[in-house]
Structures are given as C-alpha cells and as structure tokens.
Homo-oligomer: A and B are copies of this chain.
C-alpha cells in the first residue's frame, strides 16, 4: 500500500500548536490550494486542506509558519472519525505531514526559508508583525476548519510514524 500527498499552498491562519497529555507537540493548520482550473462561473477556487504535524516538525511549523505564507507539504492522507454530540459519526480527513518546506519568509526578502525537517527550531520566533491579509492575497475566503464546536480529541494514541 502506498499513500503519498504533496501540496503547495498558503496557510489560512496561524498554525495552532498543542500538546498531548504526554507532552507530544501537535500542530494543525489549513492549506488553501488553488484549483488548477476555474469554476464554470469563471472563478478560481481553492481547496482548504487540513494538515497535521507532530513532534519536532510541529514545533518548527508553529515557529516559522504564519497565515498567508506559502508552504510545501509532504505526507499521507488520514481519515479518522468520531461521534459528534448528535450521536452521528463524523469523518475527518487530514494530511499527516512528515515534511514541510517554508517557501517564503517575510524577513529574508524573497528567499526560501529552509526546511521544516532538520531546522533547529530556535526560539519563539513568531517575528511579530506578520498576519495581514486574506490567505491568498486578495480574495476573502473563509477557513472552514476551525472552532466549530467539534470536540478536539488529540490523544497520544494518535501518534503517527
């Protein structure tokens, strides 16, 4: 079996870093990836694809990625499910990333930022300022994947790899 995904897109929001009860870092963000064609209403649309990173990569992503930034993500598709408060089973599809490249950095001019893998995470970074604008430069699209009341259940059982 084989399950491989490669995406290039922009973050719809700042990444969210959390920790499992056992202290393992998890970061979630959503990538807006423009579709390669226009809709028949002539608009360019995007797919909003949830991405999850774990451990060191999670820390690095939380430190270096921000809303609007361009990133390349390598990983696999994972489908998990939970029962919501109406007793319905809900399916959640995410890309579990094992490699993230930062394709832009605000302060280093126009250069690639380095790797999400080997990168020493350095300090808190977050470099302030950042954060303008709608994700993709202009269109006011909405990130559908956030605090919509879904129970958040990160457990240490969810560790991939």
Given A110-B106, A126-B161, A127-B161, A74 and B4 touching (CB < 8 A)?
yes
Mind listing 10 A-B residue pairs with CB under 8 Å?
A1-B34, A2-B33, A2-B101, A36-B117, A37-B126, A38-B134, A45-B134, A47-B77, A79-B144, A91-B144
Q: Is the pair B4, A6 in contact by a Cβ cutoff of 8 Å?
A: yes
Instruction: Confirm or deny: A62 has a beta carbon within 8 angstroms of a beta carbon on chain B.
Output: no
Tell me which of A72, A95, A127 has the highest count of chain B C-beta atoms within 10 A of its own C-beta: A72
Shortest CB distance A108–B (Å):
9
In the bound complex, how far is the Cα of B33 from the Cα of A39, in angstroms? 31
Shortest CB distance A152–B (Å):
16
What 1/0 mask marks residues of chain A from 70 to 82 whose CB sits below 8 Å from any chain B CB? 1010101111010
**CB < 8 Å neighbour of A138 from B4, B39, B161:** B39
